[in-house]
A and B are shown apart, each in its own frame.
Chain A
Amino acid sequence: MFELHRIPEAELESGKYVKLWHGPQHPGITGNMSLELTLSGDDVVECKTHVGYLHRGFEKMMERRTFIQNFPIVCRIAVPEPTFNEYLYAAAVEELAGIEVPDRAQWLRCLNLEMMRLASFLMWLGGAAGSFGMSTVYQWTVTHRDYMLDLFEEMTGARIYHMYITPGGVRAPLPEGFTERTRSVMDGIEKLLYEIERVVLNNAVFKLRSQGLGFIDPSMIDDYGIVGPNARAAGLARDVRKDSPYLVYDQLDFETITGDKSDAYNRTVQRYQEMHQCISLIRQMLDQTPTSGSFHADLPNVLHWKIPAGQTYVKAECTRGEYGYFLVTDGSEYLRRVTIRGPSYTHAIAVMEKLVVGVNIADVAGLMVSLHTYPPEIER
């Protein structure tokens, strides 16, 4: 089941193999982790993953900061999609402190999260195409991601680290004219996706290189804890938004999208379809988000906010699958313990080490991107 391909030490010295470090400085968006590859010719025969290049000790740091002081920190845990961290931290604190979040804030949070998902997918799409040599596509998708960052800037006051979802609600309502501008950006992205279909998905080079690459057998899914689009592409309808709806997902019209084979190509198609779904969800929310009412609950004085002893696990469907926060409080002004578990933990380590064996060295980056991993969330 968990058998890992390991070559005996003696054989490594035989001269048949070459060791190669892939990362941590890799120009793709595979992030600051490295793969220690053992090659035979240009085929990978063994892989060891190494993390630690990004370790900033968030979990420990959060134990020494007050509940309100933690909310600007958590967004840094997964750089390309900070909002999921903001939401999960806030939701966990609210649950432990017994705070009810106003309806309008739920809608604004949900809108923010779906916009984040789309922006994150856009960046990923550029990476996916870029790692197979199509860096032009990267320019396109990052441009449209930038249009979305402009929207975030208006909505939250910042482009990357939004710090918008605070414990209790959100910081501000939507600015004037925001809905119209968002709609026009969505139209642009929809047009882009049509082009992506022609340039990436219907591309002989992309198909030849990605079809069959990093095939995830359905039997692996539960053993390895594979979640999100990686699992859905294999036909498993597993989505936290549907399975245990949070925020306002139960009031939105969408179906879980599944595929029939999880390889690098089909995972790209899977995410391509999910981007269309994002746009639909964002449009639905732009229509339905309340324009009046409170957007922030009354909190106790945040300067000496004590939360009763307790523990909770909250989860949400981030771009890459189930993302979870486990919080323990002890009745003091500080967290007793927090554990953050992102999907990259398995996707970038155990799954990667297994799938990469037998892959051509040129496809390693493409495989890694097709799993959609963010090393920062491994090293929280």
Chain B
Amino acid sequence: MKLKDITSPFYVWQRAFEKTYTTAKPALERIGAHAYRGFHINDIEKCVGCGTCEEICQNGAIDMVKIAQKASEKGDSGLVPRFDYGRCCWCALCVDICTTGSLGMSNEYTWASDDPDSFRFTPGVDQTSWQDSEHGYRRHPEYNLLKLDRPEMKMLDPDEGLKSFDEVVHGFDHKQAILEADRCIECEICVATCPANMDIPDYIRAVRNQDFDEGLRILYKTNPFSATCGRICTHKCEDDCTISTFGKPLAIRWLKRYIVDQIPAERFAEILQDEISENGHHVSIIGAGPGGMTTAYYLRKKGYAVTVYEAGESGGGMLRYGVPSYRLPDDQLDKDIDYIVSLGVEVKYNCKIGRDVEFQQLMDENDAIFIATGLNQPSSMRINGEDHPRVLSGLAVLSDVASHKDPGVGKNVAVIGGGNVAMDAARVCRRLGADVTVLYRRRIVDMPADKEEIKEALEEHCNFVLQAIPVLIEDADSKEQVTIQWGEAEMVAEPGKRPRPVLQEDRMHTETYDSIISAIGQAGDFSFLPRDISDQLNQHWGKFEVDQRQRTTVGKIFIGGDIANSVADAISAIADGKNAAIGIDDFVKANVR
């Protein structure tokens, strides 16, 4: 012990003159750091109610709740997160995982209230002083818990693809499929968007777990055309995938395809195990396309005796005759149709109602009738000379190719139109060895065809001539050729509508082709319906009016598919078929015996 040990501690007095660190009013004088994890904020305009915040919250502090300001619609559940500050630990995992970036945190950290319920609040809806705070924790742009990149799909080289009708898309390999399935956050926003309400997150989970039998069961529970849709679905689900805010949407369609590709057609019955017990009722269906066969599938599973009348040689409708095999190989379509037929659905091919069987006879013999005949009549271009023998319809060309017949298009072809039929016709002609020019009256962005189809058509060297309006078709010098006159168009803005192309008569062109393929749209042929029946059914813009269950004004008659819905794609026809099966079942139970 030294003397210093006694004197040295008195040094503490020096500190008595220093500035204090504590403050009298911390809430005012001591604001949180810039990235402080304080009270939550939410931009409800951006929030789509995916519920991923609720899913990741380890305290169960978040509930997704309905609010008056937002409606539930496609791509938005209409729900927003409500926080219980009795449970929240401010870990900010909810902010990190937020798919839209709508959730954040302010740097506010004091909140006093005598109402304990006020601490359970909905940011962005309940008024708070910090809602618009610029400070506080936000996910760092370089730190991401979501998986944003999609594995690249292997495709046939465009030049190679032109040599045959082989499938262009190779499909995922095993590793890619598992990686892609891992990206799903299971928010289920897509389920509401899918017309057939397929259980998308469930079958993606089956891919992740590599349980493809279970995947197939989930698929066929909601869609008996899964093999088909895995290839050509318009995948509206992917448009609403919440991952697409910051990254590429999940490849939902390719994952569906991957499941079906893992399972040979012979194993379908063993896996799906659909057991039928007859209920003694009989339903007839007109048209063996996706709408008709889906109805047949679900009615058959409920025990109905189902007969399908098909005018063509085989089933599938537009899927077989309208979609070329490089997009949908026949064997994939057969997988679906053969399975539906194997359940005991009777299909009468080459049997046209009105020609081979009278419609009235069906009315008399059945408990209900479902009509899904599709749009199979090409629309008219309404120009002179369109009945020229070298003018073919897009549908006819596709149908010939599907039936392995030569449509005889020649070596230099013009395709008129911008829809999927036009793109398919153009690409088919390229595969038949022709040079193809696509004439379309509007711009590329206005084309109703799928983006992928347009992209692939361009890659396959289809020559796009845009803003071109056909005016006149006439004889060419040679009998084997035809001449078309078309004029350039200017896009004129129309308030409230999409811009309208206006013909510029001073800029006309004349070209000669071996053939011209008209593919500007299709209409239905309802001549098989007796006059008294068709008079009773309501029509609007060439389509029948039906309700949610495909019911019409005639009790027994249900209508669906392209002749009823405005979208006119396969998945909507399938959705119609599902709804019709429920509608018919309800109708029969209520009205028959």
Q: Which residues of A contact B (CB under 8 A)?
A: 65-66, 68-73, 136-137, 140, 143, 146-147, 150, 153-154, 157-158, 161, 163, 169, 171-173, 175, 195, 198-199, 202-205, 207-208, 294-296, 299-304
- Give 5 closest A-B pairs by Cβ, nearest first: A72-B91, A69-B58, A204-B5, A157-B37, A153-B33
Knowing A157-B137, A302-B56, A303-B52, say if A294 contacts B142 (CB, 8 Å).
Answer: yes
In the complex the two chains form, is B36's CB within 8 Å of A158's CB? yes
Instruction: Of the listed stretches B182-190, B333-341, B361-369, name the one at the interface; the rest are far from the partner chain.
Output: B182-190
B-chain residues with CB within 8 Å of residue A153 when the two chains form the complex: 32-33, 36
> Residue B156 at the A interface, CB < 8 A?
no
Alpha-carbon gap, A69 to B182, bound state (A): 18
**Interface contacts beyond A296-B144, A303-B55: sample of 8 additional A-B pairs, CB < 8 Å, sorted by A:** A73-B58, A158-B37, A163-B37, A171-B143, A173-B142, A195-B11, A295-B143, A296-B143
Alpha-carbon separation in the docked complex, A69 to B58 (Å)? 5
Q: Does B492 contact A (CB under 8 A)?
A: no
Q: Are A300 and B182 in contact (CB under 8 A)?
A: yes
Minimal Cβ-Cβ distance residue in B for A294: B142
Cα-based distance from A176 to B93 in the complex (angstroms): 24
Q: What are 15 pairs between A and B in contact, CB < 8 Å?
A: A68-B145, A69-B56, A70-B58, A150-B33, A157-B33, A157-B92, A161-B91, A169-B143, A171-B96, A172-B35, A199-B9, A199-B11, A203-B8, A303-B97, A304-B205
- Point out the residue from A72, A199, A203, A301 that lies within 8 Å of B89, measured CB to CB: A72
A157 pairs with B36, CB closer than 8 A:
yes
B58, A72: Cβ atoms closer than 8 Å = yes
Contact A72 B11 (CB under 8 A): no
With the chains together, A163 CA to B91 CA distance in Å?
7
**Least Cβ–Cβ distance between B50 and chain A, in angstroms:** 11
Contacts of A73 in B (CB 8 A): 58
**A257 CB to nearest chain B CB (Å):** 23
B residues near A72, Cβ cutoff 8 Å = 58, 89, 91, 93
Q: Report yes or no: A146 in contact with B21, Cβ–Cβ below 8 A.
A: yes
Docked Cα-Cα span, A71 to B146, in Å, equals 17
Do A198 and B186 touch across chains, with their CB atoms under 8 A apart? no
| 8 Å CB contact of A172 from B91, B97, B140, B183 | B140
- Answer yes or no: B15 CB below 8 A from chain A CBs: yes
Contact partner of A202 (CB less than 8 A), chosen from B8, B58, B183, B184, is B8
Smallest CB–CB gap between A209 and chain B, Å? Answer: 12
A158 CA to B183 CA in the complex, in Å? 30
Interface residues of B in 62-115 (CB under 8 A from A): 89-93, 96-97, 105
B58 touches A65 (CB 8 A): yes
Q: Which residue of chain B lies nearest to A298 when distances are taken between CB atoms in the complex?
A: B147
What is the CA–CA distance of A198 and B9 in the complex, to the nearest angstrom?
Answer: 6
CA distance A212 to B311 in the complex (A): 105
A65 to B91: give the CA distance in the assembly, Å.
15
CB neighbours (8 Å) of A143 from chain B are 21
What is the minimal beta-carbon distance from B295 to any residue of chain A, in angstroms?
A: 36
Known: A301-B183, A303-B52. A154 touches B11 (CB 8 A): no
Contact A207 B5 (CB under 8 A): yes
Q: Which partner residue on chain B sits nearest A144 by CB separation?
A: B21
Q: Contacts of A158 on B, CB cut-off 8 Å?
A: 36-37, 90
The one of B6, B15, B21, B184 that contacts A204, using a Cβ cutoff of 8 Å: B6
Residue numbers in A under 8 Å from B34 (CB-CB): 154, 175
In the assembled complex, the Cα of A203 lies from the Cα of B5 at a distance in Å of 5
* Distance A195 CA – B9 CA, assembled complex (angstroms): 9
* A301 surroundings in chain B (CB, below 8 A): 146-147, 182-185
Bound-complex Cα distance A56 to B97 (A): 27
A residues in contact with B32, CB < 8 Å: 153
Would you call A140 and B15 a contact (CB within 8 A)? yes
B281 cross-chain contacts in A, Cβ below 8 A: none
Residues of A within 8 A of B145 (CB): 68, 299, 302
B185 x A303 contact (CB < 8 A): yes
Contacts of A205 in B (CB 8 A): 9
Q: How far is the CB of B189 from chain A (nearest CB, A)?
A: 15
Contacts of A295 in B (CB 8 A): 142-143
Does any Cβ of A come within 8 Å of B352's Cβ? no
The one of A69, A154, A203 in contact with B9, judged by C-beta atoms closer than 8 angstroms, is A203
Within the complex, what minimum Cβ distance (angstroms) separates B271 from chain A? 24
**Closest residue on chain A to residue B6 by CB atoms:** A204
Complex interface: chain A residues within 8 A of B92 (CB):
157, 163
Nearest CB on B from A118, distance (A): 17
A194 — nearest CB in chain B belongs to which residue? Answer: B11
8 Å CB contact of A136 from B12, B144, B183: B12
Q: Least Cβ distance of B156 to chain A in Å? A: 30
Chain A CB within 8 A of B208 CB? yes
Chain A: CB-nearest residue to B183: A301
Contact B182 A161 (CB under 8 A): no
Measured between beta carbons, the chain A residues less than 8 angstroms from B58 are 65-66, 69-70, 72-73
In Å, the complex CA distance between A315 and B415 comes to 71
C-alpha spacing A71/B97, complex, angstroms: 14
Which residues of chain A come closer than 8 Å to B89, judged between CB atoms? 72, 161
Task: Point out the residues of chain B lying under 8 angstroms from A304, CB to CB.
Answer: 182, 186, 205, 208
**B residues 119-171 with Cβ under 8 Å of A?**
137, 140, 142-147
Q: How far is the CA of A137 from the CA of B97 in the complex (A)?
A: 44
**For A147, A157, A171, which residue has the most chain B Cβ atoms within 10 angstroms?**
A157
Give Cα A302 to B36, complex, Å.
Answer: 24
CA distance A223 to B140 in the complex (A): 48
Q: Is B4 an interface residue (CB 8 A)?
A: yes
> Once the chains bind, are B36 and A199 in contact (CB under 8 Å)?
no
Q: Are A171 and B33 in contact (CB under 8 A)?
A: no
Q: Which listed residue, A137, A150, A175, touches B35 by the CB 8 Å rule?
A: A175
What are the residues of chain B within 8 A of A303 when measuring CB–CB? 52, 55-56, 97, 185-186
Question: CB of B1 within 8 A of chain A?
Answer: yes
Q: Looking across the interface, which residue of chain B has its beta carbon closest to that of A136?
A: B12
In the bound complex, how far is the Cα of B208 from the Cα of A171, in angstroms?
Answer: 27
Partner of B93, one of A69, A150, A195, A199: A69
A5–B426 Cα distance when bound, in Å, is 96
Shortest C-beta distance, B176 to chain A (Å), equals 15
Chain B neighbourhood of A299, CB < 8 A: 145
User: Are B97 and A154 closer than 8 Å at their CB atoms?
Assistant: no
Which of B1, B12, B33, B142 has a CB less than 8 Å from the CB of A154? Answer: B33
Q: Could you tell me if A207 and B1 are in contact, using CB atoms closer than 8 angstroms?
A: yes
| Whole-angstrom CA separation of A169 from B142 in the bound complex | 12
CB-CB under 8 A from A207, the residues of chain B are 1, 5
Chain A's nearest CB lies how many Å from the CB of B452?
26
Chain A positions within 8 Å of B96 at CB level: 171
Chain B residues in 8 Å Cβ range of A169? 143
Could you tell me which residues of chain B, from 408 to 462, have a CB within 8 Å of some CB in chain A? none
List of B residues within 8 angstroms of A147 by Cβ: 21
Cα A128 to Cα B56 with chains together (Å): 41
